[in-house]
Amino acid sequence: MNTKIAIIGGGSWGTALAQTLGKNGHKVALWDIDTNLVKNMKKDRENKKYLPNIILNDNVELVSDVSVGIKDANIVLFAAPAQRFRSALENALEYLTEDMIVVNVAKGIEIGTHKRMSEIAEEIIPNMSYVVLSGPSHAEEVGQGLPTTVSAASKDNDAAVLIQHIFSNETFRVYTNEDIIGVELGGSLKNIIALGAGISDGLKYGDNAKAALMTRGIAEMKRLGVKLGANPETFSGLSGVGDLIVTCTSMHSRNRRCGIMIGEGMNPEEAVEKVGMVVEGMYTAEAAYELAKITGVELPISEGIYKIVHGDIEAKEVAKLLMIRDKKDEMLIY
């Protein structure tokens, strides 16, 4: 089955997925708001800024006009940062038709509204099929064709199965999952914990501390997820513990790299600038902190990381406060 897919967002992840889909034989139109990026990619057949050393498949076309990219597409994939998803969707709205499937790969919660990406889509395009693709998937490895597995979640199971079929190949395996809330929250909240893991590494706290942070981080993710209607089992899957592991342990992770620099003493804003790409955990930390207050869910790690990145408290002090909290039974997750 040869399908036309429009990709909105030419960062590392959008480019890696364009490459994957092109190799699968699909016609891909890749667009980005940065006209110079598109121009250079078209000339070089490579995204030297965000995903260097990957020569684009011949099925990937760079387009300078978003309407041309979306025209006649079966699937429109949004690979914009989470805080820009709303504007990207609104800008594409006039070109979308009800027979298209919208796929989103951004991982985050919108600041201010506290909405997940599917909730934004439901608000703007309530009659369209929406699928979220999420899991442990560094763009650098996907672009190279290294084995990767993710989840496709949707209220529309037929749409999720179709996306599974279109994206899957011998190096990119897709599972379906009906729990869109859990998949989106897992992909979003793990970035906060990854910031914390990086901060712990920057402080040279060792493997024990990072293992504890990741494990209790999953407990926090599950606690908030269940409160918001997610299936707790989802957090034991690819978009939960799977994505958490890869984001907390790899130097491909911009959240972990940013956290390391903060732990070493760098100002959070300077650390983000040095990473050179969007660090989603910085925004999600604020959204999760506010959600915790609204829902009454206890998120001590996320709250501590939020206060660190906003300059309210030193990282070492947060670590101390977490260690001397009231003693509890490990199984009292909720």
CA distances from 264 to 68, 198, 211, 279, 281 (A): 46, 10, 19, 17, 18
Contacts of 330 (CB under 8 A, 6+ apart): none
pLDDT means over runs of 10, the chain (334 residues): 90 98 97 97 97 97 96 97 96 96 97 96 95 97 97 97 98 98 97 96 96 96 96 97 97 95 94 91 94 95 94 91 90 71
Length of the chain: 334
Helix-then-strand count for the chain, H and E: 15, 10
51-55/4-8 β-pairing:
unpaired
Tell me, what's the pLDDT at 19?
A: 98
Domains for the chain: give ranges and CATH numbers: 4-178 (3.40.50.720), 188-323 (1.10.1040.10)
CA distances from 67 to 190, 232, 271, 328 (A): 34, 40, 36, 56
Residue 246's closest CA among 284, 294, 172, 193? 193
Tell me, what's the pLDDT at 334?
A: 62
Q: Which of 4, 23, 107, 190 is catalytic?
A: 190
Tell me, what's the pLDDT at 331?
A: 83
327 classed as catalytic: no
Tell me, what's the pLDDT at 333?
A: 65
Query: Where does 45-179 have alpha helices with state H?
Result: 66-70, 85-92, 117-124, 139-143, 157-167
Q: Tell whether pTM > 0.85.
A: yes
Contact indicator for 21, 42 with CB cutoff of 8 Å: no
Query: Where does the chain have alpha helices with state H?
Result: 12-23, 35-44, 66-70, 85-92, 117-124, 139-143, 157-167, 180-202, 206-227, 243-249, 254-263, 268-275, 280-295, 300-309, 315-323
